[in-house]
Amino acid sequence: MLADFLLAGLRALQDYVVLHVVTCLVPAFLLAGGIVTFVSKEALVSRLGAAASRPASFATAAGASVFLAACSCTVIPVASGLYYGGAGVGAAFILLWVAPAANLLSLVYTGTVLGAGMAWVRVLTALAMALAVGTVMTAAFRREETARALPARQGARARLLSGTDAGLLGLVAVSLLAPNYLVGQGPYAHKVAVWAATSALAAGFAVWRKPRDELARWLQETWWFVRIIVPLLLAGVFIVGVIGAALPREWIATYLGGSGLRPSFLATLLGSVSYFATMTEAPFVHTLLGLGMGKGPALALLLAGPGLSLPNWLAIARVFGPRKAAVYVATIIVLGTLGGWLAGTFILR
């Protein structure tokens, strides 16, 4: 019995981590490290803080968060700092939601594990929910928002990213996407070959155009992502394998099967209470899908899993106050349920 569970855990590790290391994880970490190193944070913040109109600030917040490969712990100071620095409550909560729920790292990994379709639906649903969250938060705290004198900071706009850096990040993105989407179903060796060719191109460009010290910082940042995320991913995936072997099939089919409102609600609730390290939600959902979970609830869990957790609620309540935290969590649970149900009924059939 116990040996079976251990074996299931090890098999999950082989399926979800070992096979994806070279063609998915390595380029994804390099891309995340590159974004941290080369994208100017000051420029990003000045755009968010100073966005004159509400739609503009919503769009910037959502767009920026996709590229903020950050777990829920790092994003709280960013969101609260922006809020107290003058950004609207809507934009701050959009950042809080999108950065963990739909950042680039987890989207890419979702695509590799669950297919490109699921990754697209995930990002589109997350952005639609972000828009709704921003609107609800702004409407609910309207009076407070008008009372808060928003300092209109107008200064020189710093550049987000230099042309060379954009080219480099583009090449890394190609080395990440080409093996997984160009080769598709072929044998693994083909993927590795495509990865090697595109990576050599990116590496050549980097050595040619970038100074040594910046390259060193890039690799250092990448190494940080590896050191933080890989242990969590390994532990998480192992647990996923064990849970998959231990859970009775009937339970999953009864509570999370189909695409109705109730299974979506249960999946959202499960996801918003428990803590999922970035990326572990994809193998977890994949395992549950194999055991009979519906696609709608799967999407709901993919979104709420990394996006919310009990420790996260408490931290948000401390920083933004319990009322805003309550409105935010309730909104996410309602929207996640609706999103899972709608996507499961109309898109992911």
Partner 1 sequence: MIQVEVFGPGCQRCKATLEAVEQAVAATGLRVAVVHVSDPVEMARQRVLFTPVVRVNGETKSTGRVPTPAEIAAWIATAGAPS
Q: What residue ranges bind partner 1 (CB under 8 A)?
A: 36, 41, 45, 71, 73-74, 76-78, 80-85, 217, 220-221, 224, 227-228, 315, 318-319
Nearer to partner 1, 75 or 194 (CB): 75
Nearer to partner 1, 76 or 172 (CB): 76
Nearer to partner 1, 199 or 312 (CB): 312
- Tell me the closest approach of the beta carbon of residue 75 to partner 1, in angstroms: 10
- Tell me the closest approach of the beta carbon of residue 85 to partner 1, in angstroms: 6
Q: Which two tokens stand for residue 232?
A: 């969590």
Secondary structure of 258-270 in HEC code, one letter for each residue: CCCHHHHHHHHHH
**What phi-psi label fits residue 258: left (phi over 0), alpha (psi between -120 and 50 degrees) or beta?**
left
Nearer to partner 1, 93 or 195 (CB): 93
Give the span between the Cα atoms of 266 and 256, in whole angstroms: 7
C-beta atoms surrounding 72 within 10 Å: 23
DSSP state of 323: H
Nearer to partner 1, 227 or 323 (CB): 227
- Tell me the closest approach of the beta carbon of residue 220 to partner 1, in angstroms: 8
DSSP state of 159: P
- Tell me the closest approach of the beta carbon of residue 77 to partner 1, in angstroms: 5
Q: Which two tokens stand for residue 331?
A: 């909104």
Nearer to partner 1, 73 or 197 (CB): 73
C-beta atoms surrounding 306 within 10 Å: 26
Give the span between the Cα atoms of 266 and 262, in whole angstroms: 6
Query: Which residues contact residue 122 at a Cβ distance below 8 angstroms, ignoring those fewer than 6 apart?
Result: 102, 107, 110, 299, 302, 303
Residue with tokens 């808060």: 148
- Tell me the closest approach of the beta carbon of residue 162 to partner 1, in angstroms: 18
- Tell me the closest approach of the beta carbon of residue 148 to partner 1, in angstroms: 14
